[in-house]
């Protein structure tokens, strides 16, 4: 306890870190307040049908990502997911469009241009998703819930939903620039955590009911939840070390080879892509509902299959997307050729492997082998909430039994703690943990 208080004092002493934390809390407060501001022209007391619709299933998951803004018919109802979708589109396009590939190689200037394109695409995607959300409001809510004419409400709601998403995107970028970093990921995590107390209490009281199983079942669920959390942390932090014979310090991409001795190691993460594949896959899983809404009755089977959170079609597709995106994101973040070149330039080599192309092939082979089990385990954790629901866990609380929500929380929390620890160590204070450095996934986080 004393060490914890000393750490808090050290954090407060560092002016830059203190300012960044306060800025982050301020931006998060604005985001949370905005999630309760209802769209103009709606009666807030008539949203019961919408809240019932978003209590479970895929819409419940979308509501969780928005921190309840979706069910509140808030100005932030579409949240940050359009930005995630835009990021996916541009990263996929970067593999096929030479102009984007060139920008990716231009360093900071190229990154700024890509971020600008992402903002523009976010506006277009939001403009396409907003009509679907408005149509859902008009079908779910009673007529007297609308206080203005249908045409006026449609136009104002469409414009405000676009503006709200752009503002949330701006908040995420400000947290990255002026706060403690990982702005977009942090906003997603805050939205998820905001639903945790309600979900926890709902599960607790459901187990106290006559058919709920009692406190013993609830305690068993808590133990299993802790085990899943531990497994998720191991999945985020797990590494495979490659021995390197080195004459002096070298930098391999983002992996540092420290000085001292001739035998060093390059740590390759089992899950090098972090939580990004699951965020990307989840964003893609929201697309069928949007398309089905435009298809009407012709797309009823399609919408039903991909709206069933516990169904085979939804979970199998989700599982396969996670594996695909894990390989994709690992490929664009880990460059074996660059690592091999940096090792060769700095006098390092892997024992038994020729420097240069053979080293790059060796690293690529190792990454392919460790990425497969990493992606499979990531997919298993992602579909655990569906399995928990089949065993009687409350639909809202089941979202925290692994899945997108838990992995995002674990990854972002570790990243945030690592950011704080780096500020402490840089100014010669003790870190957050005496037993060793916190290993996050900051190198794989979203930049905004």
Stretch (H or E) spanning 436: none
What pLDDT digit, counting tens, does each position of 32-53 carry?
A: 999 999 999 888 888 888 888 7
Q: Is 74 helix (H, G, I), strand (E, B) or coil?
A: strand
In order of 38, 50, 56, 379, the CA distances from 399 in angstroms are: 25, 19, 9, 14
Pairing of strands 255-257, 263-269: unpaired
- Which tokens go with 314? 């939804």
The answer to whether 414 touches 439, Cβ cutoff 8 Å, is yes
The answer to whether 443 touches 414, Cβ cutoff 8 Å, is no
Confidence of residue 442 (pLDDT cuts 50, 70, 90): very low
- Model confidence, pTM: 0.73
What pLDDT digit, counting tens, does each position of 79-89 carry?
A: 888 888 888 78
Distance separating alpha carbons of residues 272 and 325, to the nearest angstrom: 11
More confident residue, 322 or 64: 322
pLDDT(248) > 60: no
What is the DSSP code (8-state) at residue 209? Answer: S
Question: How many other CB atoms are found less than 10 A from the CB of residue 28?
Answer: 19
Phi/psi of residue 135, nearest 5 degrees: -60, -40
More confident residue, 105 or 224: 224
**What is the pLDDT, as a whole number, of residue 8?**
75
**What is the pLDDT, as a whole number, of residue 445?**
43
In order of 6, 78, 200, 405, the CA distances from 189 in angstroms are: 27, 15, 16, 8
More confident residue, 24 or 421: 24
- Which tokens go with 176? 């990255």
pLDDT(7) > 90: no
**What is the pLDDT, as a whole number, of residue 1?**
61
Q: Out of 3.40.109.10, 1.10.3370.10, 1.10.600.10, 1.10.3720.10, which CATH number does the structure's domain 2-444 have?
A: 1.10.3370.10
pLDDT(236) > 80: no
Instruction: Indicate the range of 84-88, 228-232, 300-304, 339-343 predicted with least confidence.
Output: 300-304
**What is the pLDDT, as a whole number, of residue 76?**
92
Average pLDDT (227-237) is 78
Q: Is 253 helix (H, G, I), strand (E, B) or coil?
A: coil
Confidence of residue 17 (pLDDT cuts 50, 70, 90): confident
More confident residue, 189 or 438: 189
What pLDDT digit, counting tens, does each position of 290-304 carry?
A: 665 555 555 566 667
**What is the pLDDT, as a whole number, of residue 260?**
45
pLDDT(67) > 50: yes
Length, in residues, of the chain: 448
pLDDT(152) > 70: yes
**What is the pLDDT, as a whole number, of residue 2?**
65
In order of 31, 192, 378, 382, the CA distances from 198 in angstroms are: 19, 11, 26, 21
- Tokens 């000393």 belong to which residue? 6
Q: What b-and-e string marks burial along 160-173, b requiring 16 or more CB atoms within 10 Å of the CB?
A: bbbebbbbbbebbb
**What is the pLDDT, as a whole number, of residue 75?**
92
Stretch (H or E) spanning 280: helix 276-285
Distance separating alpha carbons of residues 95 and 308, to the nearest angstrom: 32
Distance separating alpha carbons of residues 147 and 142, to the nearest angstrom: 11
| Closest listed residue to residue 447, CA positions, set 367, 337, 371, 333 | 333
**What is the pLDDT, as a whole number, of residue 266?**
75
**What is the pLDDT, as a whole number, of residue 25?**
92
Average pLDDT (240-269) is 56
Rounded to a whole number of angstroms, the CA Rg of the chain reads 23
- Which tokens go with 59? 């819409």
Give the chain's end-to-end CA distance (angstroms, integer).
34
Confidence of residue 448 (pLDDT cuts 50, 70, 90): very low
Confidence of residue 56 (pLDDT cuts 50, 70, 90): low
More confident residue, 401 or 30: 30
DSSP string for 34-53: HTT-BPTTB-GGG-HHHHHH
Range among 151-165, 227-241, 271-285 with highest mean pLDDT value = 151-165
Range among 25-39, 205-219, 351-365, 427-441 with highest mean pLDDT value = 25-39
Longest dimension (CA), the chain: 76
């Amino acid at each position: 306890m004393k060490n914890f208080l000393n750490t808090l004092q050290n954090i407060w002493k560092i002016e830059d870190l203190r300012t960044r934390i306060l800025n982050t809390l301020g931006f998060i407060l604005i985001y949370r307040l905005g999630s309760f501001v209802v769209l103009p022209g709606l009666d807030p007391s008539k949203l019961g049908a919408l809240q019932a619709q978003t209590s479970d299933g895929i819409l419940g998951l979308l509501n969780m990502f928005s921190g309840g803004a979706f069910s509140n018919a808030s100005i932030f109802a579409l949240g940050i997911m359009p930005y995630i979708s835009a990021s996916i589109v541009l990263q996929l396009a970067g593999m096929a469009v030479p102009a984007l590939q060139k920008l990716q190689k231009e360093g900071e200037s190229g990154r700024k241009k890509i971020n600008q394109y992402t903002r523009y695409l976010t506006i277009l995607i939001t403009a396409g998703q907003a009509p679907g959300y408005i149509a859902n409001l008009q079908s779910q809510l009673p007529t007297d819930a609308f206080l203005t004419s249908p045409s006026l409400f449609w136009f104002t709601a469409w414009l405000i939903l676009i503006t709200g998403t752009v503002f949330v995107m701006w908040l995420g970028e400000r947290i990255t620039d002026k706060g403690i970093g990982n702005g977009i990921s942090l906003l997603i995590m805050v939205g998820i955590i905001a639903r945790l107390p309600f979900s926890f209490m709902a599960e607790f009281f459901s187990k106290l009911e006559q058919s709920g199983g009692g406190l013993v079942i609830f305690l068993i669920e808590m133990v299993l939840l802790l085990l899943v959390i531990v497994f998720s942390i191991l999945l985020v932090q797990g590494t495979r070390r490659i021995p390197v014979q080195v004459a002096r310090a070298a930098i391999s991409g983002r992996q540092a080879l420290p000085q001292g001795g001739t035998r060093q190691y390059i740590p390759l993460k089992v899950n090098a892509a972090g939580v990004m594949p699951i965020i990307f896959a989840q964003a893609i899983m929201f697309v069928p509902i949007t398309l089905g809404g435009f298809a009407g009755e012709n797309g009823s089977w399609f919408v039903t299959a991909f709206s069933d959170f516990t169904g085979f079609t939804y979970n199998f597709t989700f599982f396969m997307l996670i594996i695909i995106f894990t390989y994709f994101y690992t490929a664009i973040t880990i460059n074996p050729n660059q690592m091999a070149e940096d090792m060769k330039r700095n006098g390092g080599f892997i024992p038994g492997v020729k420097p240069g192309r053979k080293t790059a092939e060796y690293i690529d082979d190792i990454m392919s082998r460790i990425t497969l089990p990493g992606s499979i385990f990531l997919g298993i954790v992602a579909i655990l909430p569906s399995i928990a629901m089949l065993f009687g866990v409350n639909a809202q609380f089941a979202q925290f039994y692994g899945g997108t929500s838990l992995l995002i929380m674990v990854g972002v929390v570790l990243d945030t703690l690592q950011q704080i620890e780096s500020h402490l160590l840089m100014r010669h204070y003790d870190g957050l943990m005496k037993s060793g450095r916190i290993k996050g996934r900051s190198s794989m986080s979203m930049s905004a």
